[in-house]
Structure 1
């Protein structure tokens, strides 16, 4: 055996003594494996091994019983040199044609890994004082296992893991059935620190910790080059933190997934039998990705009717601040259907429906009463997460304008540009979302959102401006509640929106904007002034780029005027005469004139937002 190992690897293998206990059992002592001119890779005090009688006749040796005492595996990396790389070097093979179009079949690879691991599990294992370590100039990992026992299918071990400065103390308990490729294991935190995942902060700017982790593999089937596995994963007391998810730690008491996964050539599928549970809320998930001829992605989420109170109580703490503590009655049901073929983006499918029973209603508000916008309320404006201004939205504020005191030109221009279906939809515009998805996929980045006025209002009144997944989901839930429960009338929503949106440097609301740019009341705005104010809503901080140094609108604004004016004419919001008389020409007064006309003359536009504005109008003009 020593000769065979040394012929295969550039290393010295030493065995102090070896003797047979009986015809199929051997005891080895003083074992070491030392790569040539490198640090010792492995040593152990003694190994007691009993070989399976049946495995001998199958042409490969499988241990029936394996006892290892005082084992040390020491991996070292110094610069570009390691004492273990040679183990993974493949023998050179003759040149063979390679099918570069087939891709790697990860199902076959995983199936081979599972079968190799399970087929070599001894019936009995008794490891005592096993140690493994890895050391390099940038990283240190130490694993200590006082014992590992496998007996009659039961697995038990204690594990100490130190990854740099992070320490985890774990207890592992479980069962294994190698013949049927089944395993079920549970990892428990052995101290009050919980189980913390290393390198998540470094790699993903996230933190993950939990008390208990349950993992199981219940079945495996490999047919026609496809591997299908099923099992369960469950985590208790999960704490997750990531700046893209939420501002605070996310707490989940219980989360689980009963999974059915299929992997094959250019195919990855989460079967619809997969059930995801967060606390008491459950959903079936189907997801697939295939890239044989083109990249095709499918996602479906479906829930059965769930008690509304269970839904809200299952929302993870720290994820949705406004909704925490809310209580409801009735039932909720959700369905999502998403499909995209990357070679045919115009055919994107996106349907999202949250349905409620007839008796659904909010019994008690949580941290925030969503009906507060029906009356006067205090509104705080945030920039980069910091408050910059607080004002009252209501008659006590001299800059507040009731909707009937705002020019119909401005109201209709904003509805035309921002949300033409505002008075008819229930807070969401699925076609706008679909077009936004197409745009973002084509450009490979988030270039368009597809938000309705309802969504913009909720974002401004109830949520922070940070772009997190939690904020977008909370925004959707709040919009759905307001619109479907008729908590606030459409007119009131539009009125509040017109009184809080930003229109320039510390300029908020229609009255403030009318005075800032034109020195007049919002009821006095003409058509050209209304369209100008509408044009800068997407980028109010870039208001100066619309003008030259003399206070004249730049020529590129003419396209926007023609588009908005044309749509308003077709919808009967302005007359043919008003459309023909419309020109991109406004006269600045007040503070805006002082800031703009005194600017240095320049023919360079800070940023031409016309294309963004025109695309946004096209998106919402259905």
Structure 2
């Protein structure tokens, strides 16, 4: 009878023998198994992706190494997706036994990967199919999903890698860019790469080097130009008309860890001398000399966020952002920005070159800090939060830059700029016979324009939070910038100091200049309103209320009736299209009457007008000035209606 010890020894021998037999069988039949696996992949590519996949030769090297030649993937009726001439790799057998593919080494020699888009379509369309939707109603766990994707991707990054002459090609309807990796080495956790970028306009050589440890999920990598000069970001110029370049980029990943049901990703990214140029951003090159992002990404079961411990810094400006996308009950988007206490002068000198040209040369004293709180609930849009707060400490502008706001207090020449063309000069001051002081402008007109354009002008400090909220809501609903939130202060700054170009630069300058104007009491509210009435466009080549009163009614601004004032207030948004409010007999169309009636009733409800003010409103409005001559054009049914003349509801 065997003892317990003998039984254990016998079981061990049987286990070892079984394992040896399995290893020998695997070794003997491994080539057949390899060919079977390749055939399975080839069949899947054909069945699921309508593509031809082939490997000319495949064999084992040692116990865990594999060698392939001429690996080709060609979608049917499309350009080849990739062709690798020689590839050698090894896998971690122990990880493979538990279902994970983890590459140990990788060698690639000669080959290309290409993405092609043309009239026939894209050669990668078949691989963009949505995955299995059988569990689409199951709630997604962002932390688990993120960690699984990152782990799988990093397992495919070998610990030792050698790549020679591998190119990546993009052909977007003839817009071609090629990146050729002449050499790529990863050994002892050190990465070194030299590559050449080629497109129609230029060729440049870049280098990527640094530390990379895929198994411990850490990296510290730099990208820079081998030759002198900046690295140009290719493809974006031709595709999106976005010119951009930089001297160097650094990406550091310090930690990727999943604990307590949350995924943490920590590190930093920095860029030197970033230049961007796009007609929607600014009319000049925008340059940020030094920028750094110390990031902490957090992913939970029902949220994705950038933690508020993260820090963004460019030049001397430093702030803490918080971004979140939450799905626990409702779909919620959150944004918080906090700029800690800093010197106002440090802020001014840190503004990116080209983005705030009107601030060049400006000097300031004192300190400030700023906080922004924004939240949008997709399921409850009316509960939108928009809270912007700036705390000042002895803040004072001591020297103005290009935009000298003190100009508003004296005589100056105003020249509107329309489509980058300067219009005729208009003198803003008593030397101009058409200039009209505020006390000589009909009180009706002042009330009508304030009601339609900016009801709280005399009480706000340049901005109306509620208007911003409503503007954001409408823009989100329409998925475009269909509504602004301009106050009279903002319109004044835009007209006197800036251009009408629709760029991010102009809007940012407008916001900052309005804040300085309103919060430093540079000009009184009455003076600002007076200048506004005397410079805004009231019709084709008609500037200022003095010219407008003559052009439409052959009157002075003081003699305008309530009915005439209601008309003038409603044409401010589109003054050059005023004639579309009239029919061929010179009478107001019904929609124009409704707009003016709506404005008048609104003023009555608010107590701005009293019933006696509306006496005589039933008399038809008549244009008696030169404007009347523009109403004599007969519009035939076959003539397309001007898109700007479509009857629209009047909005306040």
One fold, TM greater than 0.5? yes
Distance 2:622 2:122 in 1: 74
**Cα deviation code 1:101-143 (max 9, x no counterpart):** 3476665554334323434555544x26342344768465544
Question: Is 2:227 the counterpart of 1:184?
Answer: no
- The 1:351/1:163 distance shift into structure 2, 3 A limit, reads same
- Segment drifting more, 567-576 vs 547-556: 567-576
Of 459, 466, 484, which residue of structure 2 is paired with 1:449?
484
Task: Provide the rounded CA distance (Å) in 2 between the counterparts of 1:528 and 1:326.
Answer: 45
Alpha-carbon deviations, 1:490-537, whole Å to 9, x = none?
A: 111101100011111111110000000110111111221111111111
TM-score (structure 1 length as normaliser)? 0.85
| 102 and 392 in structure 1: CA distance in 2 versus 1, 3 angstrom threshold | farther
Cα distance in 2 for partners of 1:439, 1:263 equals: 30
Counterpart mapping for 1:88-103 below 5 A: 98-102=134-138
Judged with a 3 Å threshold, the aligned counterparts in structure 2 of structure 1 residues 132 and 376 are, in CA distance, closer, same or farther, namely: same
Summarize the Cα distance change of 1:325–1:589 in structure 2 as closer, same or farther, 3 Å threshold. Answer: same
Q: Given the superposition, is the C-alpha separation of residues 485 and 183 from structure 1 closer, same or farther in structure 2, using an over 3 Å criterion?
A: same
Is the counterpart of residue 493 in structure 1 residue 493 in structure 2? Answer: no
The yes-or-no answer on 1:337 pairing with 2:373 is yes
Deviations, residues 344-380 of structure 1 (Å, cap 9, x unaligned):
22222111223321x2111222222121111111211
Q: Report Cα offsets for 1:220-242 as digits up to 9, x if no partner.
A: 23358754322211111001112
Q: Which residue of 2 aligns with 1:111?
A: 147
Residue from 292, 310, 315 that aligns with 1:279: 315
CA distance in 2 between partners of 1:82 and 1:426 (Å): 53
Distance 2:489 2:495 in 1: 10
2:23 is aligned to none
> Which consecutive residues of structure 1, in runs of 5 or more, have no partner in the other structure?
617-622
- Match of 1:511, SS state, is helix
How far apart in 1 are the matches of 2:622 and 2:609? 21
Cα distance in 2, alignment partners of residues 215 and 369 from structure 1: 41
Is 1:327 matched with 2:327?
no
Judged with a 3 Å threshold, the aligned counterparts in structure 2 of structure 1 residues 265 and 585 are, in CA distance, closer, same or farther, namely farther
SS in 1 for 2:185: strand
Unaligned runs of 5+ in 2: 1-29, 43-52
What is the aligned partner in structure 2 of residue 347 from structure 1?
A: 383
Give the one of 42, 53, 56 matched to 2:84: 42
Specify whether residues 289 and 580 from structure 1 end up closer, same or farther in structure 2 by C-alpha distance, changes over 3 A only: farther
Aligned to 1:620: none
Matched residue, 1:407: 442
The SS at the match of 1:512 is: helix
CA distance in 2, matches of 1:11, 1:610: 63
Stretch moving more, 451-460 or 130-139? 130-139
Report if the CA contact (8 A) 1:149-1:157 is conserved: yes
Q: How far off is 1:411 after superposition?
A: 1.2
In the alignment, structure 1 residue 471 sits paired with structure 2 residue 506: yes
Query: Quick one: higher RCO (CA 8 Å, sep 6+), 1 or 2?
Result: 1
Q: For residue 599 of structure 1, what is the aligned residue in structure 2?
A: 633
Query: Does the aligned pair in 1 maintain the 2:409–2:527 contact within 8 Å?
Result: yes
CA drift of 1:587 comes to: 2.8
Equivalent residue in structure 1 for 2:624, among 589, 603, 607:
589
Between the aligned partners of 2:539 and 2:545, the Cα distance in structure 1 is 11
Q: 1:256–1:439: structure 2 CA closer, same or farther, 3 Å change rule? A: same
Counterpart in 1 of 2:564?
A: 529
**Which of 356, 371, 380 is residue 392 of structure 2 equivalent to?**
356
Report the Cα offset of residue 248 of structure 1. Answer: 1.6
TM-score with structure 2 setting the length: 0.81
**Alpha-carbon distance in structure 1 between the residues aligned to 2:426 and 2:598:** 35
Aligned residue-pair number = 599
* Structure 1 residue 590: Cα displacement: 2.2
Task: Determine if the alignment matches structure 1 residue 519 to structure 2 residue 554.
Answer: yes
Question: Which of 206, 220, 224 matches 1:170?
Answer: 206
Mapped to 2, the partners of 1:51 and 1:573 lie a distance apart of 81
Q: Deviations over 1:451-501 (max 9, x none)?
A: 111011111111111111221111110000000011111111101100011
- 1:200-251 deviation per Cα after TM superposition (whole angstroms, max 9, x unaligned): 2344331221110111222223358754322211111001112221122111
CA contact (8 A) 1:553 1:584 kept: no
| Residue of structure 2 equivalent to 1:253 | 289
Supply the distance in 2 between the matched residues of 1:195 and 1:226 (Cα, whole angstroms): 37
Structure 2 SS opposite 1:415: helix
Match of 1:237 in 2: 273
1:619 maps to none
In 1, Cα distance between equivalents of 2:128 and 2:629 = 73
- Say if 1:529 and 1:215 are closer, same or farther in 2 by CA, change over 3 A: same
Residue 372 of structure 1: which of 407, 416, 420 is its match?
Answer: 407
Q: Is residue 416 of structure 1 aligned with residue 451 of structure 2?
A: yes
Q: How does 1:57-206 map to 2 (within 5 A)?
A: 66=105, 68=107, 70-73=109-112, 98-102=134-138, 108-119=144-155, 121-125=157-161, 127=162, 129-134=164-169, 138=174, 142-163=178-199, 165-206=201-242
Offset of 1:265 from its aligned partner? 6.4
* Aligned twin of 1:14: 57
**CA drift at 1:181:** 0.9
Could you say if the C-alpha distance between residues 119 and 97 of structure 1 is closer, same or farther in structure 2, counting changes exceeding 3 Å? closer
Q: Residue 584 of structure 1: CA displacement?
A: 6.2
| Shift in CA distance, 108/400, structure 1 to aligned 2, threshold 3 Å | same
Give distance in 1, aligned partners of 2:273 and 2:94: 46
Alpha-carbon distance change, 71 to 419 in structure 1, aligned in 2, over 3 angstroms? same
How far off is 1:555 after superposition? Answer: 3.4
Corresponding residue number in structure 2 for 1:387: 422
Whether the 8 Å contact between 1:401 and 1:511 is mirrored in structure 2 is yes
Q: Is the 8 A contact 2:414 2:428 kept in 1?
A: yes
- Structure 1 residues 497 and 14, CA gap change in structure 2 (3 angstroms): same
Q: 1:310 to 1:456 in 2, by over 3 A?
A: same
C-alpha deviation, 1:313, in angstroms:
1.0
Give the equivalent residue in structure 2 for 1:504. Answer: 539
Pairs within 5 Å for 1:267-306: 267-290=303-326, 294-306=330-342
Per-residue deviation, 1:549: 3.0
What is the aligned partner in structure 1 of residue 8 from structure 2? none
**Mean alpha-carbon deviation: is it higher for 502-511 or for 214-223?**
214-223
